Amino acid sequence: MALRGVLQLLFAVLLCVNVDSLQAVQVGGNGTLQVGYYWRTCPQAERIVKEEVAKAVFSNYGLAAGLVRLHFHDCFVKGCDGSVLIDSTSNNVAEKDAPPNNPSLRGFEVIDSAKARLESLCSQVVSCADILAFAARDSVQFSGGLPYQVPAGRKDGRISQANETISLPPPTSNLSQLTQMFANKGLNQGEMVTLSGAHTIGRSHCSSFSKRLYNFNTTMSQDPSLDPAYAAQLKQQCPNSSVSANLTVPMDPRTPNLLDTSYYSGILANRGLFTSDQTLLSNSSTAALVQQNAHVSSALVSELGIMAIWSKHRTADEDHSLEALWAAHSRVVRQLDEIAMDLFIKGFSLIMAPIMDCLKHKHFQWTSDQQNSFEAIKSMLSVAPVLALPDFKKTFHVHTDASSVGALCSGESTSVLGALPVASRFHSLERSYKAL
């Protein structure tokens, strides 16, 4: 399997699994969110939302990023309660009309269309908050991300006030400000760096970063941390005039509509669009995370990270979540198994053993053993093998997996020499078993 740089940086996933920290309103048989919550009451709910998102995104691809951002701006204020969707009234300015949201938030019409269809099919059953969470998930998939399950059962908030959007991190934030804002929501720096990666899709108004180009401080007009060539490009797209206030540019010019690791590579090249992006390099800890995310096979690492974060924030009575965790766990292990053969990670089964064992108990348990295993696998997946010319005076070793139809050949050093096709004595059913 070829290694993919598809980055699973879903605001939707991380915000949903951190729902307790974000103080979202939860419901359910025991007061918690559930995967498949509408299975009996409105079984077509998720399909209908996906259809509406597909129509919108294929008509205007920028709406995928818009829906992800809409979900984030909902969750980060008072929890994932749909309050960002509430209209202002004559005596109240709602969240959607606050400066961080108006005029930049997009995708309201997609949620309205999905809600209208669902109301005609199963009236007053599916909450707007859940529709928004489903729509963000589908937008991620349409942007190249892998599908994932969304626990549902949120109730819609009834209060929406513009002044509460002050908790949203602005693009001008430095690292200390960002860290504090995310900490206020129960999110650590690692999760902050991951969530920042959603800037790999979508566009931004020039006004969000123009100060870095023309009025950085009293001694310098241009931010010295910004790559000069990139700054020159941005100045062409955003001239220093009142006209540029309504102009937009892609946040990740290399792959503006693809959820990948290009955002992190851009930061390493001093091409982070916002101050809040480039500031991630101002601290050794967050810089290391940026470096790691730029080079690791992040589609897998992020799913493992999601499992760890989910475990961190779930309660003891969330046994129904084990089905979703098991599905994610099984998918990750299958992919890691294939990648391990691609890279030949020696001792892979021993390193992965704690992660394999974490679901054998009644409750999903993520301890220091699983975290150490996770960190070790991340490190090994981010370091490519060193190729070397074969030394025919030394012994060659062929490494095979009983479930595979291929093998890896290596010399007595640790260098991988290449993959060699080999015949398999196993029939099709036997090849589906893992030899970990």
**Catalytic residue ranges:** 73
Burial class of 145 by CB neighbour count within 10 A (0 to 12, 13 to 18, 19+): buried
Phi, psi of 73 (to 5 degrees): -70, -25
Residue type, 314: R
- Contact between 151 and 324 (Cβ < 8 Å): yes
Residues of the binding site for heme b: 199
Rg (CA), the chain: 23
CA 410 – CA 132 distance, rounded (Å) = 50
CA 275 – CA 341 distance, rounded (Å) = 40
- Contact between 102 and 96 (Cβ < 8 Å): yes
Residues of the binding site: 74, 77, 79, 81, 83, 95, 169, 199-200, 252, 255, 260
Angstrom CA distances, 65 to 31, 54, 102, 143, 326, stand at 31, 13, 16, 8, 28
Cα dihedral 37, 42, 47, 48, rounded to 10, equals -130
Q: Identify which of 332, 321, 330, 344 has the alpha carbon closest to the alpha carbon of residue 406.
A: 344
Residues of the binding site for Ca(2+): 74, 77, 79, 81, 83, 95, 200, 252, 255, 260
Long-range contacts of the stretch 359-368 (C-beta < 8 A, 24+): 359/322, 359/325, 359/326, 359/329, 362/319, 363/316, 363/319, 364/310, 364/311, 364/314, 364/321, 364/322, 364/325, 365/311, 366/307, 366/308, 366/311, 366/312
CA 182 – CA 101 distance, rounded (Å) = 18
Query: Is the peptide bond preceding residue 103 cis, with omega within 30 degrees of 0?
Result: yes
Residues of the binding site for substrate: 169
CA 3 – CA 5 distance, rounded (Å) = 7
Angstrom CA distances, 31 to 71, 199, 424, stand at 22, 33, 51
CA 44 – CA 118 distance, rounded (Å) = 9
- Contact between 300 and 336 (Cβ < 8 Å): yes
